[in-house]
Amino acid sequence: MMHWEKLLTAGRFDPTRFQKENPESIRTSFERDYDRIIFSAPFRNLQDKTQVFPLPEHHFVHTRLTHSLEVSSVGRSLGKSAGEYLIHKYPDLEPANVTATDIGAIVAAAALTHDIGNPPFGHAGEVAISDFFKYHPYGYIWQPHVSTQEWSDLCNFEGNAQGFRMLVSNKNGLLLSYATLAAFTKYPRPSLIFEKDKKRRSQKKFGFFIDQHKDFEHLADVLGLTKINSDAWLRHPLAFLVEAADDICYSIIDLEDGSTLGLVGMEQSISLLGQILGDKFQPGKLEKYGSDAQKLAILRAMAIGQLVEECVEAFKDKEEEMLSGTFDQALTDIIPSAKALAEIANLSVEKIYRSTPVLEKEAAGFQVLEGLLEVFSKALNHKYYQTELYSGKDKSILRLLPEGFPLEGWGEQVNPYPLLRALVDFISGMTDKYALSLYRRVKGISLPGT
């Protein structure tokens, strides 16, 4: 059984020692997490990563950055409301100086980072990186040189695990609090586990690569996360709220974007949002708004508000089961609006996610990321393994790797997993535009400055 007093332990993540934070009068520890994330380079890069659609010239649609800000806003509301309940229910939290605002800040900060590990071109980018190692000659050529667990990591790129890697990396210097990192980790397991429990939402994907296993073990030990087998832990209960915030936003806002771009009819969008609002939906009042965009905006705001209320009530109802591990589902799957959200999800798949602009973007993503991985992986393999093939072209390619890339110390007797992990860090951290630009240059399609 997990306990809130330990789950909300103050302190900043440091696997070498427990780091108690000095108090600050203006901002709490968790508010500082939010500020550190906002000003970080990985977060800023989300402004040029599309959420679903390629960025059109004449309409606003969401980037990963705007989506993350909105998820964080919803997360703060969820966390603060849930926090008020927890502070009232568990009096021992008050002497520990934990407030409802703190809990809101934890969820807001974790939600802000929920997409930070996503590669260029969204989920298509994840598949492209995975498929490169599974199927490309200069991808699977590395398999004999790494362990089974490491190979599973490379063949199953996961944005959540990449995000955890970025958040604990000394290179990014975020040094977030333990509670924020745990709330971020929706899938507290590695990529390869002995037996996956399909009934547990928290085991649907994985949350850290094998070289961060000890980092997560340390995090779990500090916060008292329950280990359910040799490979996996229970979620931190606040991770359910982070997940709910994301589910709410992409369901409602992808529908709004799809309607704005004409992929979903306005009447259908209004009807679906009206199902969430139930008795609160009054179609006649929409007539006072002059444009479809205004009608959508007011319905979107009301629908999000309704879903927040329902998810908070579900959290209150299932909170003790979260602590014991007997509840492990998405909150949005058990709320009264679950059926309406399922209808929106089905429509989104049919009309939005399989629309021509989205499919064209995905196809481009596969081509670009495979092309980049090929040229860099090939050059690295020639440098350290097939040295007789190491050419001037390979040398030029490797000079394009970022400053600080670990190019020394590899060879036949050295496990190349850290080298490949660094390559994937480089590729996955690119913005959509930079990835496309670099691809064109290394393939000779365009020259610098053109």
> According to the 3-state scheme, what is the secondary structure of 296-339?
HHHHHHHHHHHHHHHHHHHHHHHHHHHHHCCCCCCHHHCCCCHH
Confidence (pTM): 0.93
The predicted pLDDT at position 384 comes to 95
Give every residue of the chain whose pLDDT is below 70, as ranges: 16-25, 50-61, 447-450
> Which residue bears the tokens 């982070």?
242
User: Which string of DSSP letters, residue by residue, matches 15-55?
Assistant: TTS-BPPPP-SSS-HHHHHHHHHHTSHHHHGGGGSBSSS--
CATH 1.10.3210.10 residue window(s) in the chain: 4-118+160-238
d(CA 96, CA 85): 16
Indicate the SS3 state at residue 227. Answer: strand
The predicted pLDDT at position 57 comes to 46
Indicate the SS3 state at residue 288. Answer: helix
Residues 2, 224: contact at Cβ < 8 Å? Answer: yes
* Residue 111 in tokens: 């939600």
The predicted pLDDT at position 382 comes to 96
- CATH code matching the domain that covers 4-118+160-238, chosen among 3.40.50.300, 1.20.120.80, 1.10.3210.10, 3.40.50.720: 1.10.3210.10
Q: Within a 10 A sphere around the Cβ of 290, how many other Cβ atoms?
A: 8
d(CA 378, CA 386): 9
β-bridge mates for residue 227, sequence order: 233
- CATH code matching the domain that covers 120-156+356-450, chosen among 1.10.10.10, 1.20.1440.230, 3.90.1530.10, 1.10.3550.10: 1.10.3550.10
- CATH code matching the domain that covers 244-355, chosen among 3.40.190.10, 3.30.930.10, 3.10.150.10, 1.10.3410.10: 1.10.3410.10
Task: For residue 277, give Cα distances in angstroms to 127, 340, 359.
Answer: 36, 10, 32
Task: For residue 231, give Cα distances in angstroms to 16, 137, 196, 218, 417.
Answer: 22, 31, 9, 14, 20
The predicted pLDDT at position 55 comes to 47
d(CA 160, CA 392): 37
Q: Within a 10 A sphere around the Cβ of 207, how many other Cβ atoms?
A: 25
Residues 21, 29: contact at Cβ < 8 Å? Answer: yes
CA–chain centroid gap for 307, Å, is: 21
Q: Give the closest residue to 108 by CA, choosing from 166, 36, 51, 13.
A: 36
The predicted pLDDT at position 296 comes to 87
Using the Cα atoms of residue 178, residue 181, residue 184 and residue 186 in order, give the sign of their dihedral: negative
d(CA 344, CA 257): 13
The predicted pLDDT at position 304 comes to 96
Q: Give the closest residue to 260 by CA, choosing from 115, 75, 52, 121.
A: 52
